Amino acid sequence: MGKSLEGMYAALLTGFSDSGAFDAGRQTAITDYVLRQGLQGIYIGGSSGESGLMSTDELLAQQAVIAGLPNARNAQVIAHVGQPNTRDSIALAKSAEQFGFDALSALPPHSYPFSDEEIFHYYAELAAATSLPLIVYEVPVRTGRPLPLALLQRLLDLPNVAGIKFTSTDLFKLSMLRRSRPDKTYFFGFDEIFAGAAALGCDGGIGTTYNVFGKLYVELYKSVRSSDLRQAQELQDISQRFVEVLLETGVIPGVKAALRSIGVDAGFARGPLIELDTKTEERIGAFLRSAPVQSWLS
């Protein structure tokens, strides 16, 4: 399986109305802005999209909105379909295939303390459910434990598994995976240290802050690949300073506030997520207006 999926993808936010319902108009506004930034594509229905706070029917509706956008048809679309149960995950996967999306991804099951074998069988069923390539996922911050290297290797060996989204600070494990399974595609998921993973040879990134700074991350990846260390450090520094602000405001509420502050009708996060700072939009707006940050906004 080739590496046609490689590149930089925004972990797309979800648009909700002021009453908290899924909002197709706001979803369109967010997606249109994100896709103007030169990214390889979008990763929809994931944690950054508040999928854990959405029903399967809402996620199916979101897929339909994305599928209907002309600019999305010109980009790569990876549909995250990981749900608390295999049945709903497969339903979302089959819908993504019908819409003509390019790949699937899924969190490991994490609603209960699932065994390694249960996780393996979940991914095996999901990979076999459609013809779309599947991106498995290592994300200890969500699952509560890192998956063993041997299990990740078994998952990468499954038919139809194209690669992994690796959201862990264990870059040595990432390197071992790459050496043992060099034909797979490796995405990195921690925006604030992307340059480190890129220097170790990852094939792209999938991140929340790409919704705002997609152009910056595309250039950051190019800088690493062209060995422009100074440029990579400067761009990663901007990324890190943005993440520092988000940690004080709430990450997803803060990214939506950032989009609102630059004129994108992104709405607000769905409860129980809240803005942790009463002056979130003011604080983030001040950061976005600073130099050299402003030049990286679309």
Query: Residue written as tokens 């995405």?
Result: 187
The C-alpha atoms of residue 63 and residue 45 are separated, in whole angstroms, by 8
Phi, psi of 35 (to 5 degrees): -75, -5
Contacting residues for 27 by C-beta, under 8 A, at least 6 apart: 14, 15, 62, 65, 66
The C-alpha atoms of residue 135 and residue 102 are separated, in whole angstroms, by 11
DSSP state of 236: H
Are residues 252 and 240 in contact, defined by beta-carbon separation less than 8 angstroms?
no
Phi, psi of 190 (to 5 degrees): -100, 105
The C-alpha atoms of residue 209 and residue 1 are separated, in whole angstroms, by 29
Q: Check if 215 is active-site.
A: no
Of the candidates 33, 165, 221, 256, the residue annotated as catalytic is 165
Are residues 81 and 45 in contact, defined by beta-carbon separation less than 8 angstroms?
yes
- Helices 210-225/24-34 angle, 10° precision: 20
Of the candidates 9, 43, 122, 137, the residue annotated as catalytic is 137
Question: Which residues does residue 230 pair with via DSSP β-bridges, in sequence order?
Answer: none
Q: Check if 9 is active-site.
A: no
Q: What angle do CA 288, 289, 295 make, to 5 degrees?
A: 80
Indicate which residues carry an active-site annotation: 137, 165
